[in-house]
Amino acid sequence: MTEFFQSFGMSYEWAWGVATIAGILLITLPLLLAVAMVIYVDRKVLGAIMLRRGPNVVGPFGLLQSFADGLKVFLQETIIPSAANKGIFLLAPIITFTVALAAWAVIPFDAGVVLADINVGLLYVLAISSLGVYGVVMSGWASNSKYPFFSAMRAAAQMISYEVSIGFILVCVVLWSKSFNMTEIVMAQKGHGFGFVNGFFFNLLLFPMFVVFFISALAETARAPFDLTEAESELVAGYQTEYSSMSFALFWLGEYANILLMCSLCTILFMGGWLPPVEWAPLYYVPGFIWFLLKTFGFFLVFSWIWATVPRYRYDQLMRLGWKVFLPMSLIFVALISGYLMATGHFG
């Protein structure tokens, strides 16, 4: 995009600056719109599974419900508890929201449609998502209240536990695609299964890792059945208990932006990103970002389906699953996959 702005007679620095800001806006604005719609979808799916109607009053089919909620939240009063640590209390939701948006910089939506096509894209996502825990921990501590503090402790332990196995799963994918660059990871999946299925999920060694990654993604975003950080029967609303109005809304938006990020990561790492599901020429007439969005929203539907059907884990079960099941399993698969790739001469 820098060349485009340079054609208006800007110097390289200015063109780069304008192009970057334009790129950021082009990603964040549709993302926030998508988050609003996804919250609506989430509530609608939950309603359908519970044989309710879900939101159906504001706008046609209740489509504008999220926007009405957003507007309502704007008009509410921001309440800061007198015992709270004010600076950190206000900083925490901002960090959650910023971190949730920052990771999108390296997500390729289509061939070449990515804000920063860096060599270490996957590591960048891992680094940024490991920052997500700070928003929760800081809010829990700064609230100076019992339940948010418990929630912060749980969140810190939970996110670290599952990040370890996610790291090993990423190693498996990187071994197979020979690159940390997101675009190259997607391109490595072209015709991966029998020469016509695009995607690593169609691979006997990577499919179990795909399942483990998806479950770890649920735990990493603190979604049901792993939503122990905001288990309402024990902790009121967890780390969000003391928050109101916009500071609460920032948590809310950040949480869903993170869920969408995890869905898009599943898409990029295992489902072939913007490539059509199978190698068939007519499917390439559909623009790549449509495939990307279809797959991402498909994963989101599974997220909300799980939310509506699976009961919450107990905390010790959550830790057991992370450390005693997923971690050894992903370690074994790293060894298996690298052994298989060495034996078949994958690295040449």
Partner 1 sequence: MIETIAFYLFAGLVIAGGVMVIMSRNPVHSVLWLILAFFNAAGLMVLVGAEFIAMLLVIVYVGAVAVLFLFVVMMLDIDLAAMRAGFIKNFPIGIAIALILLAELGLGIGAYGAGGLELGSADGMAVARTDVSNIEAIGALLYGPYIILFEIAGIILLVAMIGAIVLTHHESKPGARARQDIGKQISRRPEDATVMKNPEYGKGVEL
Which residue in 40, 89, 109, 124 binds partner 1 (CB under 8 A)?
124
Number of residues that bind partner 1 (CB under 8 A): 29
Non-local (6+) Cβ contacts of 133 within 8 A are: 155, 156, 159, 160
**Nearest to partner 1 of 98, 244 (CB atom):** 98
Mask: binding to partner 1, 151-170, rule CB under 8 A, as x and -? -xx--x---x--x-------
Non-local (6+) Cβ contacts of 173 within 8 A are: 122, 185, 200, 206, 209, 269, 270
* 21 is a site residue for partner 1 (CB under 8 A): no
Which residue in 21, 50, 83, 127 binds partner 1 (CB under 8 A)?
127
Of 44-52, 114-122, 188-196, 216-224, which part binds partner 1 (CB under 8 A)? 114-122
Q: How far is the CB of 13 from partner 1 (least distance, A)?
A: 5
Amino acid letter, residue 273 = G
Kindly state the tokens that stand for 166: 């996610």
CB of 83 within 8 A of CB of 144?
Answer: yes
Q: How far apart are CA 38 and CA 41, in angstroms?
A: 5
Amino acid letter, residue 52 = R
* 222 is a site residue for partner 1 (CB under 8 A): no
CB of 27 within 8 A of CB of 283?
Answer: no
* 36 is a site residue for partner 1 (CB under 8 A): no
Which residue in 134, 305, 307, 315 binds partner 1 (CB under 8 A)?
134
Of 11-19, 243-251, 283-291, 297-305, which part binds partner 1 (CB under 8 A)? 11-19
Of 45-53, 120-128, 202-210, 286-294, which part binds partner 1 (CB under 8 A)? 120-128
Nearest to 31 by CA among 223, 272, 260: 260
- Contacts (CB under 8 A) with partner 1, residues 63-102: 85, 88
Q: How far is the CB of 162 from partner 1 (least distance, A)?
A: 12
In total, the chain counts a number of residues equal to: 348
Crossing angle of the two packed helices 86-102 and 121-142, in degrees rounded to 10: 160
CB of 90 within 8 A of CB of 80?
Answer: yes
Which residue in 15, 99, 107, 133 binds partner 1 (CB under 8 A)?
133
* 319 is a site residue for partner 1 (CB under 8 A): no
* 41 is a site residue for partner 1 (CB under 8 A): no
**Nearest to partner 1 of 45, 125 (CB atom):** 125
Of 12-20, 47-55, 228-236, 334-342, which part binds partner 1 (CB under 8 A)? 12-20
CB atoms within 10 A of CB 188: 18
Q: How far apart are CA 271 and CA 289, in angstroms?
A: 13
Q: Which residues of 244-271 are buried (b: 16+ CB within 10 A; e: fewer)?
A: eebbbbbbbbbbbbbbbbbbbbbbbbbb
**Three-state DSSP class for residue 113:** strand
**Three-state DSSP class for residue 53:** coil
Q: How far is the CB of 154 from partner 1 (least distance, A)?
A: 11
* 126 is a site residue for partner 1 (CB under 8 A): yes
Which residue in 180, 243, 274, 300 binds partner 1 (CB under 8 A)?
180
Q: What are phi and psi of 197, to 5 degrees?
A: -95, 125
Contact positions toward partner 1, by CB under 8 A? 13, 16-17, 85, 88, 118-120, 123-124, 126-128, 130-131, 133-134, 137-138, 141, 149, 152-153, 156, 160, 163, 180, 316, 320
